[in-house]
Amino acid sequence: MSGKPLQLRVAMIGYGFMGAAHSYAWRAASMAFDLGAVPVLAVLCGRDRAAVEQKAARFGFAETATDWRTVVDRSDIDIVDVCTPGDTHMPITVAALQSGKHVLCEKPLANSVAEAETMAEAAEVARSSGQRSMVGFNYRRVPALRLARSLVADGRIGELRHVRGAYLQDWLIDPAVPLGWRMRSELAGSGAIGDIGAHVIDIAQFLTGERLTALSARTRTFVTERPLPTEGAGALGGGGPRTGQVTVDDAFVLHGEVGPALATFEATRMATGRRNSLRLELNGSAGSLAFDFETMNELSFYDANDPRTTNGFRRIIATEPDHPYMSAWWPPGHGLGYDHTFTNEIADFVRAIVGGTDPEPSMVDGLQVQRVLAAVGSSAASGGAWTVVDSGAR
């Protein structure tokens, strides 16, 4: 008889939106993929004891805790999954790495370049001891976008000339939406810049294999004051018509350079009617690619080498077994959803741990995106001045 499969005991810090998505993925990954190990939901940690106990029962965690420091020090924990607001990413991640844990940390990596540098340095030290770490840019795991990356790498669009990226949401259009942590700079670092801009910047660089090297940016905060929450996690005060200042951006736009290409990016949480539209278009000398997450199983591809009488953008349904990740899922035409991006992400992370390989994106990749976010903020603060992105070279 074969022995019991290897178990990897997971402690998750945070239980909000990302905590729910990650919890689902930790459970689903070993059902969909042959991982070589079984993730075990061991501990869920959050500051509100009653809330964390309720979420632990729903998500399937065996235990709860209210102090992350005691969790990362436990000898029976193998993986720490950081799903907290950005202001705590650095201390939790560094402490977990120094305690011998593998770490998955949500994006953006940190609230500042200095914090991200500290995290990347800690990850490199831990790597020498066999610990693995990864940043949670889940859109890298969309099969259609993985296919797009392969087409670019294979030269199917030729020399890159234009990169267009946009991430459009509308969940803040109502001024009555309470002042949550994502609207407070001391907790989130930035608004649309880091919350969703980080995604579109990362995926554009991932698809092209190039870096955003210089840019000019502008930001705008459309609703500058919002009601304070009155109950639950993150509450800032009691009842009554009290309000607080929004201290982050609602939207940004930039133009810049991605390798040899001209680039434009925007991200907003104020695009009325757009729920979660992550859009990318790449134009090259031999073809183009276009994607919108609201139709996430589709990729548009234009091949300039096709006959002029019949060419045009073709609609690829990226659900065939030989498309990235799809051999683990459903028959052709049965599309994936948002949740699958996290399951694919967790599967990649666990297989890297088991195989002793370096998962991507690394903390260094997260640091590079953090430097782009810092350049966006710096340019916007100076009225859109042309700003070179720090390369990290010293």
121 and 167 belong to one structural domain: no
Q: Considering 138, 154, 174, which residue would you say is the last residue of a domain?
A: 138
In terms of residue numbers, what domain contains 26? 7-138
Q: Which of 147, 168, 80, 164 is nearest to 119 (CA)?
A: 80
Same domain, 82 and 177: no
pLDDT band at 393 (very low <50, low <70, confident <90, very high): confident
Residues 35 and 160 in one domain: no
Q: What's the whole-model pTM score?
A: 0.95
Within the chain, strands assigned E span 7-13, 38-45, 63-65, 79-82, 102-106, 133-136, 160-168, 212-220, 225-227, 243-245, 251-258, 261-268, 277-284, 287-292, 298-303, 314-317, 387-388
Q: Residue with structure tokens 């030269």? A: 155
Distance CA 103, CA 8 (A): 12
Q: Is residue 20 part of a domain?
A: yes
Question: pLDDT tens digit string along 53-109?
Answer: 999 999 999 999 999 999 999 999 999 999 999 999 999 999 999 999 999 999 999
Any domain includes 346: yes
283 and 171, same structural domain?
yes
Question: Is residue 176 situated within a structural domain?
Answer: yes
- The reply to whether 126 and 176 lie within a common domain is no
Final residue of a structural domain among 138, 165, 181:
138
Q: Do 110 and 230 belong to one domain?
A: no
Number of domains in the chain: 2
Does one domain contain both 105 and 150? Answer: no
Pairing between β-strand 7-13 and β-strand 287-292 as defined by DSSP bridges: unpaired
> Residue with structure tokens 């869920």?
44
Q: What is the pLDDT of residue 230?
A: 79
Within a domain: 389: no
Contact (CB, 8 A) for 370 and 363: no
* CATH number (domain holding residue 49): 3.40.50.720
Mean pLDDT of the chain: 96
**Cis ω on the peptide bond leading into residue 108 (within 30° of 0)?**
yes
Q: What is the pLDDT of residues 181-204, one digit of tens each?
A: 999 999 999 999 999 999 999 999
Query: Is residue 66 one of the residues assigned to a domain?
Result: yes
Q: What is the pLDDT of residues 211-261, one digit of tens each?
A: 999 999 999 999 999 999 975 444 444 555 699 999 999 999 999 999 999
The gap from C-alpha 253 to its chain's centroid, in whole angstroms, comes to 19
For residue 352, give the CATH number of its domain: 3.30.360.10
> Which of 138, 172, 201 is where one domain is finished?
138
Same domain, residue pair 126 and 168: no
Beta bridge partners of residue 286, listed in sequence order: none
d(CA 142, CA 139): 5
Between CA 12 and CA 223 the distance in angstroms is 33
Q: Does the residue 94 lie in any domain?
A: yes
Say if residue 97 is in the same domain as residue 166. no
| Pair 95, 189 in one domain | no
Q: Flag whether 390 is in a domain.
A: no
Contact 248, 220 (CB under 8 A): no
Residues 73 and 167 in one domain: no
| C-beta neighbour count of 222 within 10 angstroms | 14
Residue 351 lies in a domain: yes
Written as one letter, the residue type at 190 is: S
What's the rounded mean pLDDT across residues 372-382? 98
Task: Tell me: do 161 and 131 sit in the same domain.
Answer: no
